[in-house]
């Protein structure tokens, strides 16, 4: 970045930004799986962790002009990561209601949701599907400081087949909808991957099987052939991108795993073969097991299609049972909520479900920090607080390894060394 004369003047007037020292009573380290006392974190002027020490006798090298933040009797941990969000979606405008709004309305919704997400302690998100490259726009606006929000890894459009989960299915045949995310051959999908990457995709999201909230399709049905998903994976990996597939159905999950996809989203009807394939290929499952509660409670009022409510009733409990079985089988599970299907900002509600369905609190927190960072291919800058990583930190009042619900109300959030101020804090 070039310094303008004005910015240079400001820098001379105020001095270079100083380091910040953050202290608290406790720190949860997801990599070690341990809670340590009296952490002292020195954050450098670029918003990265310079040093982290714990224990009574720790004496870190603290620059004389450092700003000090003592959080007192709280537990701090790395900023949370949600691997599956849709910032530009609002569940209260479900079904046909969405058709009442102009295209860029959703960009603005995304700006508001980005702020809520960050204030909720989620400092990094993978946005796995939005229209019009909205997620890239919001990411750019956040990075330039226009609006507040998490670090975003954008997928841009979720891609899929004609009539599939990610094709607009609300219209009669006479209405021609521009669908820049649809292909129907291996070569067609290769071209889509290249186009999305060109315009900002950092991960490729594919609608591999039917879904709950889409009209006309069956949740379990595979929608792309093996050849199509293989072409996507080969192309994406060649370009250095990972592939996330929306897949509830067994055959689609298993063909995706055989093709080498990196993360399976939903994974509701995964079977023992899926667990074996996931472990053999090192793939992760991102299972949004809170959504069922919200959809069944609020869906009818929110305008969710009747056929979608029926699909949710068929798949919701099954997905939770699959989560428990996948965990017991040793499949790697990461934290992803599908926020947008329930309100953005309430992401942390899923922690309690993950614990209810078999994870320990330590595993659930890892799934949203150090393990998520590995799945993102960002283990070197997010998900833990070792030197060199972004100083993305959340504080909770109490021990989250005893009560994961504490993560639903962080008392303080830091992103890249900048304090996030939220209403009510
Ligand atoms: N986006 C997903 C779909 O439409 C949401 C599924 C929500 N239900 C659930 N049980 N996780 O398929």
Each residue of 198-256: pLDDT tens digit?
999 999 999 999 999 999 999 999 999 999 999 999 999 999 999 999 999 999 999 99
DSSP codes joined into one string, 358-405: T--HHHHHHHTTHHHHHHHT-TTTSSS-STTSB--EEEESS-TTT-GG
What secondary structure letter does DSSP report for 47?
S
Q: Residue 57's pLDDT is what?
A: 82
| Nearest residue to 204 (alpha-carbon basis) of 145, 259, 163, 149 | 259
Cα–chain center distance at 378: 13
| Ligand 1, atom 6: closest residue by C-alpha | 212
The pLDDT assigned to 395 comes to 98
* Exposure letters 207-216 (e unless 16+ CB within 10 A, then b): bbbbbbbbbe
Q: Which of 91, 245, 266, 350 to mutate to test the pocket of ligand 1 (most atoms within 8 A of CB)?
A: 266
Q: What percent of the chain has pLDDT over 90?
A: 91
80-375 fold: TIM Barrel (3.20.20)
Which atom belonging to ligand 1 lies closest to the Cα atom of 289?
11
Model confidence at 10, pLDDT cuts 50, 70, 90, reads very low
Q: Give me the percent of the chain exceeding a pLDDT of 70.
A: 95
Task: Give the three-state DSSP class for 207.
Answer: strand
Ligand 1 centre to CA of 175 (Å) is 26
pLDDT class for 168, splitting at 50, 70, 90?
Answer: confident
Indicate the average pLDDT of the chain: 95
pLDDT at 382: 98
Instruction: Write the secondary structure of 63-103 as one string of H (helix), E (strand) and C (coil).
Output: CCCCEEEECCCCEEEECEEEEEECCCCCHHHCHHHHHHCCC
- Measure the CA–CA gap between 80 and 240, rounded to whole angstroms: 24
- State how far the alpha carbon of 314 is from the alpha carbons of 212, 241, 307, in Å: 10, 33, 11
Token digits of residue 156:
């841009």
Read off the pLDDT of each residue in 108-128 and give the average, rounded to a whole number. 98
* pLDDT tens profile 22-59: 999 999 999 999 999 999 999 999 999 999 999 988 78
This prediction's pTM: 0.95
Say how many Å lie between the CA of residue 312 and the centre of ligand 1.
Answer: 7
Determine which of 65-79, 163-177, 229-243 has the lowest per-residue pLDDT on average: 163-177
Exposed/middle/buried for residue 248 (C-beta within 10 Å: 0-12, 13-18, 19+): buried
Segment 144-169 shows an average pLDDT of 96
Angle among Cα 327, 286, 237 to the nearest 5 degrees reads 115
Q: Which residues pair with 43 in a beta bridge?
A: 20, 49
Determine the atom of ligand 1 nearest the C-alpha atom of 266: 11
Whether the CB-CB separation of 161 and 182 falls below 8 Å is answered with yes
Establish whether domains 5-78+383-421 and 80-375 are of one fold: no
Provide mean pLDDT across the span 371-394: 98
The pLDDT tens digits of the residues spanning 303-333 come to 999 999 999 999 999 999 999 999 999 999 9
Q: Which two tokens stand for residue 422?
A: 């939220």
β-bridge pairing 34-37 and 26-29: antiparallel
Query: Does the structure show a pLDDT above 50 at 392?
Result: yes
Give residue limits of the domains in the chain.
Answer: 5-78+383-421, 80-375
The alpha carbon of 132 and the centre of ligand 1 are apart by a number of angstroms equal to 22
Nearest to 286 by CA among 344, 340, 337, 232: 337
Mean pLDDT of 121-136: 98
Distance 29 CA to ligand 1 centre (A): 31
What is the distance in A from the centroid of ligand 1 to the CA of 423? 30
Banded model confidence at residue 2, pLDDT cuts 50, 70, 90: very low
Q: Would you give the DSSP letter of residue 27?
A: E
Q: Does domain 5-78+383-421 have CATH number 2.30.40.10?
A: yes
Whose structure tokens read 């240079």? 8
At what angle are helices 226-238 and 250-259 packed, to 10 degrees? 40
Does residue 265's CB lie within 6 angstroms of at least one atom of ligand 1? no
């Amino acid at each position: 970045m070039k310094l303008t004369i004005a910015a240079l003047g400001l820098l001379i007037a105020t001095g270079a930004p100083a380091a910040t020292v953050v202290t608290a009573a406790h720190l949860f380290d997801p990599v070690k799986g341990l809670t340590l006392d009296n952490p002292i974190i020195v954050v450098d002027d670029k918003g990265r962790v310079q040093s982290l020490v714990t224990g009574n006798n720790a004496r870190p090298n603290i620059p004389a002009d450092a700003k000090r933040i003592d959080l007192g009797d709280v537990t701090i941990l790395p900023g949370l990561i949600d691997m599956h969000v849709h910032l530009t979606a609002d569940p209260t405008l479900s079904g046909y209601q969405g058709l009442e709004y102009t295209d860029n309305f959703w960009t603005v919704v995304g700006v508001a949701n980005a702020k809520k997400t960050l204030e909720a302690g989620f400092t990094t998100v993978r946005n796995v599907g939005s229209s019009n490259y909205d997620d890239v726009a919001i990411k750019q606006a956040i990075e330039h400081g226009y609006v507040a929000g998490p670090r975003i890894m954008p997928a841009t459009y979720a891609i899929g087949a004609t009539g599939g989960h990610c094709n607009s299915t609300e219209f009669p045949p006479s209405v021609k909808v521009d669908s820049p995310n649809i292909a129907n051959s291996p070569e067609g999908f290769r071209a889509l991957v290249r186009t999305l990457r060109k315009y900002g995709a950092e991960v490729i999201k594919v609608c591999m099987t039917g879904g709950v909230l889409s009209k006309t399709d069956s949740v379990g049905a595979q929608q792309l052939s093996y050849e199509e998903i293989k072409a996507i994976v080969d192309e994406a990996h060649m370009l250095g991108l990972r592939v996330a597939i929306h897949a509830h159905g067994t055959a689609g999950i298993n063909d995706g795993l055989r093709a080498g996809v990196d993360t399976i989203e939903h994974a509701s009807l995964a079977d023992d073969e899926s667990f074996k394939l996931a472990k053999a290929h090192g793939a992760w499952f991102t299972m949004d097991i809170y959504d069922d509660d919200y959809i069944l409670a609020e869906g009818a009022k929110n305008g969710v299609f009747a056929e979608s409510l029926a699909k949710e009733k068929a798949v919701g409990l099954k997905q939770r049972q699959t989560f428990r079985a996948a965990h017991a089988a040793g499949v790697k599970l990461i934290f992803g909520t599908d926020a947008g299907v329930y309100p953005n900002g309430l992401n942390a509600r899923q922690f309690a479900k993950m614990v209810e369905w078999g994870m320990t609190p330590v595993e659930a927190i890892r799934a949203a920090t150090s393990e998520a960072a590995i799945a993102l291919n960002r283990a070197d800058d997010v998900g833990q607080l070792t030197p060199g990583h972004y100083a993305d930190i959340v504080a909770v009042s109490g021990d989250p390894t005893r009560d994961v619900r504490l993560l639903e109300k962080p008392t303080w959030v830091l992103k890249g060394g900048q304090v996030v101020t939220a209403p009510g804090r």
